[in-house]
Structure 1
Amino acid sequence: MDKRALITGVTGQDGAYLAKLLIEKGYEVYGTFRRVSTPNFWRLQYLGIVDRVNFIPCEMTDMSSMVAALKIAEPDEVYHLAAMSFVGASFENPIATLDINTIGTAIILEAVRQICPNAKVYIAATSEIYGATGHEVKRPLSEEDFFKPLSPYAVSKLAAYWLGRIYREAYDMYVVNGILFNHESPLRGLEFVTRKISNEVAKISLGLSKELRLGNIEAKRDWGYAPEYVYGMWLMLQQKEPDDFILATREAHSIKEFIIKVFEVVGIDEWKKYVFIDKKLFRPLDVPCLVGDYSKAEKKLGWRPQVKFDELVKIMVEEDLKRWEKWLNGERFPWDAPLYPSEMKILSKVIRA
């Protein structure tokens, strides 16, 4: 019998890539989405798998809704990816961030414990939980390093991390925390700095834009390729015993380096002519540097990153160039016109929880 998986946040970057991976491995995939949000299935359409996912409308902060979703999906594996995941927005709306990321995680863990306690659960943690530690220790971070969060988002995710560990130890459940450092792709949302840069520079190169406005470009991050990271998620749930793992590249690059490389790809040398620093885009608190050590994942999972920084940048900006070139020829794209006519057909077919 094929395995069954439930993915919360299936319409996001990671959810879409993970759904594709699981479908290719023969899983029956169920995915949740919010009833109250604007329908947005473009990533799944873009990957050509939208007809292979069983959609369940579900509110992450509603216990009865999550229980109903689990009863429908009857999952062997649960991947909890749904979250408010934009760090900057968490300063503007900390209560909603904590509600969705922390309470939502508590609800899904408790619902699994009650409905399908033998299901394996993946909790999406984040490198942001380390916060200031990355700058203080000045080396790649391991699973043993201490946490010092610097944003409401990081606090919400750290609480979710500890909930995962508590449910694993107190209730003998198979729960893992994937501490993923930044991972990007052409499916990344435009609110994230890497896609903002690749998209805007593509427009600049085609004469569609004249400037790129950014905040702190000195911050350094460990950037990997999202499809490789969702494979790591899957590997974490294939082990005999649950554990927590970092997925990273061991390389730190500044936002400034990302900018320079993107302009190189499109053949523009004078990047400073187009980039403007806007103090309004600075965060109240920012993490200077985050870089992770994936040694444990390499040793126990056999996982290691393959796509390097330069290749990642090239993948992203070339895809944005293609999208805008097609747009100039009259084609519509998902990030520009998120409501495809077919999305209403999708909504009419969803499994009602």
Structure 2
Amino acid sequence: MTTAPARDGVRSTRTAFITGVTGQDGSYLAEQLASAGWRVHGMVRAEDASPPQDLHAGVTLHDGDLSNAPRLSRLVEEIQPDTIFNLGGTSSVAASWKKPYETSVSTGAASIALLEAAWLLQERTGNEVRFLQASSAEIFGNATQVPQNERTPVSPITPYGAAKAFAHHAVGTYRARGLFACSAILYNHESLRRPASFVTRRITLGVAAIALGLKDRLSLGNLDAVRDFGWAPDYVDALARIATAEQADDFVVATGVSHSVRDFAEAAFSAAGISDGLSRVDTDPRFRRPVDASEMRGDPGKISATLGWKATTSFDGIVQTMVEHDIEVVRNSGLAALPAD
């Protein structure tokens, strides 16, 4: 990604404000923007103020909480960002079923506070303020259209999807008002920074433990769920392209290829050199969601044609990289590296 020229004719260095900066996407985005010459500010909760090891050293951290709208407004006024990247909130569908109200606030309503703060800053200074919302394929729910695109009806079936749908619609509202506001509709994307609570990392860490002789079995939920798995650094590049595009718009960010959770597990065992891997998998109802979409697969045609973006890492390459990395993680940390069952 190249740094966009100053749109107000004065500032040559862009300033970004990232919520969720310590998460998988936030840390990769901060790294990419800082390397491209941006000033990068990120928000963290006060109790999480110590930056993770993989967060770029040049990021300026501010304490805040997505449930505290006045604090969000003050931060935007203080930082005066050119672009706000809203990546924070409840991080998973499973977690949203446990805390639906909290999810509705942090993942949904907080977007309004940030959009309004961006609008007010733009009105006060006369400088364009851009807003990028990290949306999700979960807004489409159990869509009958496969693959899904930007015109697929928004019909969420989970608390997480409902909150993301609210934020997605809020972006459209403020874009109509005159704010450069965009949604990146992200499909599943994995990396070495994926938290261990996510099914893909549960698989690669569990397979690593089996390969090293520390475990015999792997417990998973719905093996038949079909998802479009991409590589997180690719998707972060898409976020940057969308935020610096000539026109504000919404884009599906996906590979266009889908695989089941069973496929992911099978590929992980194969990457670890285990031929009978699926026979070592148990299904556990504790890991099943109350409602789960059967297939999510995105059509990246629009972002490819408009912004020249495409996925660069294959499904097998993603799994292979994660398994090789997690074998070393488990070798160094033992079973402490695995998520609790």
Structure 2 length-normalised TM: 0.91
Percent of paired sites with the same residue: 33
Q: Which moved more, 1:65-74 or 1:255-264?
A: 65-74
How far apart, CA to CA, are the structure 1 residues paired with 2:65 and 2:310? 34
Q: Does 1:33 align with 2:40?
A: no
Q: What is the letter of the counterpart of residue 157 of structure 2?
A: L
1:307 aligned residue (291, 299, 313)? 313
User: How far did 1:209 drift?
Assistant: 2.0
Q: What is the letter of the counterpart of residue 5 of structure 1?
A: A
Q: What is the letter of the counterpart of residue 128 of structure 1?
A: E
How far apart, CA to CA, are the structure 2 residues paired with 1:39 and 1:217? 37
1:119 aligned residue (120, 123, 129)? 129
How far apart, CA to CA, are the structure 2 residues paired with 1:172 and 1:46? 36
RMSD over equivalenced CA pairs, Å: 1.7
How far apart, CA to CA, are the structure 1 residues paired with 2:184 and 2:50? 25
* Aligned 1:178-257 pairs, distance under 5 A: 178-257=184-263
How far apart, CA to CA, are the structure 2 residues paired with 1:261 and 1:11? 29
Q: Does 1:152 align with 2:163?
A: no
How far apart, CA to CA, are the structure 2 residues paired with 1:5 and 1:308? 30
How far apart, CA to CA, are the structure 2 residues paired with 1:269 and 1:23? 43
Structure 1 partner of 2:7: none
CA contact (8 A) 2:265 2:278 kept: no
Structure 2 partner of 1:81: 87
Secondary structure of the corresponding residue to residue 150 of structure 2: coil
Structure 2 partner of 1:162: 169
CA contact (8 A) 2:266 2:278 kept: no
User: How far did 1:72 drift?
Assistant: 2.7
The CA deviation string for residues 243-268 of structure 1, in whole angstroms up to 9 with x for no partner, is: 00001011010000000000001111
Change (3 A) 1:258 1:40: farther
CA contact (8 A) 2:121 2:129 kept: no
The CA deviation string for residues 36-91 of structure 1, in whole angstroms up to 9 with x for no partner, is: x445632xx236x2x21100001112222112211232211110000102101211
Q: What is the letter of the counterpart of residue 164 of structure 1?
A: V
Q: What is the letter of the counterpart of residue 54 of structure 2?
A: Y
Q: Which moved more, 1:68-77 or 1:293-302?
A: 68-77
Structure 1 length-normalised TM: 0.88
Structure 2 partner of 1:340: none
How far apart, CA to CA, are the structure 2 residues paired with 1:207 and 1:73? 50
* Aligned 1:56-95 pairs, distance under 5 A: 56-95=62-101
Q: What is the letter of the counterpart of residue 4 of structure 1?
A: T
User: How far did 1:190 drift?
Assistant: 1.0
Q: What is the letter of the counterpart of residue 130 of structure 2?
A: K
Q: Which moved more, 1:211-220 or 1:270-279?
A: 270-279
How far apart, CA to CA, are the structure 2 residues paired with 1:110 and 1:71? 11
Change (3 A) 1:201 1:39: farther
Q: What is the letter of the counterpart of residue 155 of structure 1?
A: A
User: How far did 1:229 drift?
Assistant: 0.4
CA contact (8 A) 1:74 1:116 kept: no
Q: Which moved more, 1:263-272 or 1:114-123?
A: 114-123
Secondary structure of the corresponding residue to residue 238 of structure 2: helix
Q: Which moved more, 1:260-269 or 1:205-214?
A: 205-214
Which has the bigger relative contact order, CA under 8 A and spacing at least 6? Answer: 1
